[in-house]
Amino acid sequence: MAAQNIQSVPTAVEPSRASRLPRALVALTIATALALAVGLYMALVYAGMESTQGNVQRIFYIHMPSFFGAFLAFSATVVGGGMYLRTRQTKWDVLALAGVEVGLMLSLVNLATGSIWARPIWNTWWTWDPRLTSAAIMGLTYMAYLMLRAGIENPEQRRRFASVYGILAISTVIMTLIIIRIRPDTIHPAPIGGSPQDAQGDFNLTPSMVTALLTNLPIWGLLVPITLMWWRIRLENLRERVDSLKIRLMEK
Amino acid sequence: MPETTPDTTAYLLLGLTAAFGLVMLLIASMVLRYRSLLKDEQTVSQLLQDENS
C-alpha cells in the first residue's frame, strides 16, 4: 500500500496540485456566501413575525434546512463508503470523511438552534423527547465515526472499517427523520403535514414564511454542504500527498 | 383581551450566533489544518530535494 502511494507521488520539487484553486470552487464559495446573506434577509426581514412565539421563530429558517444539509452530507458518506468498498479507490473514502465532518457540523447547528428555540417556547433547553434524543444519538454516532478513524493506524483497514460504519450510521439519520411520524408522544411539531398529537409550539406558515423557508432550504441543504465538502476534500487530498511524501522521505 | 407577542429577540440572536459560529469554527479549523499541511509539504519537499542533491 505504501509502495503504491510512493509511486503516485510526483517529484518532491513539483508544485503541489492542492495549491491550484479550481475556478468553480471559488465561484461556488462566493455564490454560497451571497446566498447565505440573501437567506438571512429572507429570514429576518422578508418573513413576517410569528405572533405567538415572536422573533425566535425565525430560527426555523436555519434549524430545519441545516438538518437537510446534514442529511445530504451523510448521504455522501454512504455513497463514498459504498464506492470505496467496491473500488478501493481512496477518493471515495475522502468523500465519505468530508461528508461526516460537514454533516456533523450541520447537525450540531440543527441541535444548537433547536435547543435555543426550545428555551422560550418549551421553557427548557433540552428534554429527552424521542425526536431530540434521536437527533442527539445521530450526532454522537457520527462523532464516533471520527474517533474510529483516529483509532485505526493501518490506512486500508481504517478506510474499510469507516466505510462500513458510515453506511450503517445513516440509519440514525433516517430514524431522526421519521420518528415524529411513528412516535405520537413527541412534543416536536412537524412543519410539513400534520403534527403529532402531543406537539407543542405548532405554527401555521404564512406565504412569506413559506417563501423564506424555500429560499433557505437549498442554501443550507445544498450550497453550504457541497461547498464545505469540496474544501474538505481538498484538505484531505493535501494530507494524502504530504503523508506520501513523508513515507518517501523515511524510506530514503 | 388580545395576547401580546413575547419579545424573544435575544434567543434569535443567540441562535444565529450559534449557527454561524459553528460554520465559522469548521472553516477556521480547515484553514488552520490546510496551512499546517502546506508547511509540512514544503519542509518535506525541501528535505527530499536535499537528499537527492
Contact A31, A219 (CB under 8 A): no
Please report the DSSP string for A107-131 in residue order: HHHHHHHHHHHHHHHHSSS----HH
A41 within a domain of the structure (yes/no): no
Tens digit of pLDDT for each residue in A139-192? 999 999 999 999 999 999 999 999 999 999 999 999 999 988 887 777 787 766
A60 vs A42: CA distance, rounded Å: 12
A117 within a domain of the structure (yes/no): yes
Q: Higher model confidence: residue A125 or residue A5? A: A125
pLDDT at residue A21, rounded to an integer: 87
Average pLDDT over chain A reads 89
A192 within a domain of the structure (yes/no): yes
Query: SS3 of A58, please?
Result: helix
CA nearest to A99, candidates A70, A124, A127, A119: A70
Q: HEC string of A136-179?
A: HHHHHHHHHHHHHHHHCCCHHHHHHHHHHHHHHHHHHHHHHHHH
> Count of CB contacts below 8 A, A vs B?
112
* Helix orientation angle between A60-87 and A155-182, rounded to the nearest 10 degrees: 140
Reply yes or no on whether the pLDDT at A17 is more than 70. Answer: no
Helices (H), chain A: 2-8, 23-41, 60-87, 90-122, 130-151, 155-182, 207-218, 224-250
A96 within a domain of the structure (yes/no): yes
Please indicate whether, in this complex, the C-beta atoms of B6 and A54 are within 8 angstroms of each other.
Answer: yes
**Cα distances (angstroms) measured from residue B21 to each of A109, A147, B17:** 9, 23, 5
A51 within a domain of the structure (yes/no): no
Please indicate whether, in this complex, the C-beta atoms of B11 and A228 are within 8 angstroms of each other.
Answer: no
Amino acid at A152: I
Nearest CB among A51, A120, A248 relative to B11 is that of A120
Contacts for A79-82: CB closer than 8 Å, 24+ residues apart: A80/A163, A80/A166, A81/A162, A81/A163, A81/A164, A81/A165, A81/A166, A81/A167, A82/A163, A82/A167
* Per-residue pLDDT band at A198 (split at 50, 70, 90): low
Q: What is the mean pLDDT of the segment spanning A181-209?
A: 72
- CB of A249 within 8 Å of a chain B CB? The answer is yes
pLDDT at residue A65, rounded to an integer: 97
- Tally of structural domains, chain A: 1
Expressed as residue numbers, the domain containing A116 is 59-199+209-251
- CB of B49 within 8 Å of a chain A CB? The answer is yes
pLDDT at residue A164, rounded to an integer: 98
Q: Which residue of A has its CA nearest to B51?
A: A252
pLDDT at residue B51, rounded to an integer: 83
Q: Dig out the grid coordinates for A238 from the structure.
A: 493535501
Q: Which residues of A touch B41 (CB under 8 A)?
A: 16, 18, 238, 241-242, 245
pLDDT at residue A251, rounded to an integer: 86
A36 within a domain of the structure (yes/no): no
Please indicate whether, in this complex, the C-beta atoms of B22 and A105 are within 8 angstroms of each other.
Answer: yes
CA distance A32 to chain B (A): 12
Contact A75, A222 (CB under 8 A): no
A142 within a domain of the structure (yes/no): yes
Query: SS3 of A85, please?
Result: helix
B3 vs B15: CA distance, rounded Å: 25
A118 within a domain of the structure (yes/no): yes
Amino acid at A48: G
A212 vs A38: CA distance, rounded Å: 10
Please indicate whether, in this complex, the C-beta atoms of A116 and B18 are within 8 angstroms of each other.
Answer: yes
Tell whether the torsion through CA atoms of B24, B25, B29 and B35 is positive or negative: positive
Per-residue tens of pLDDT for chain B, all 53 residues:
457 889 999 999 999 999 999 999 999 999 999 999 999 999 999 999 988 87
- In this structure, the dihedral spanned by the alpha carbons of residues A29, A31, A33 and A36, taken in order and rounded to 10 degrees, is -140
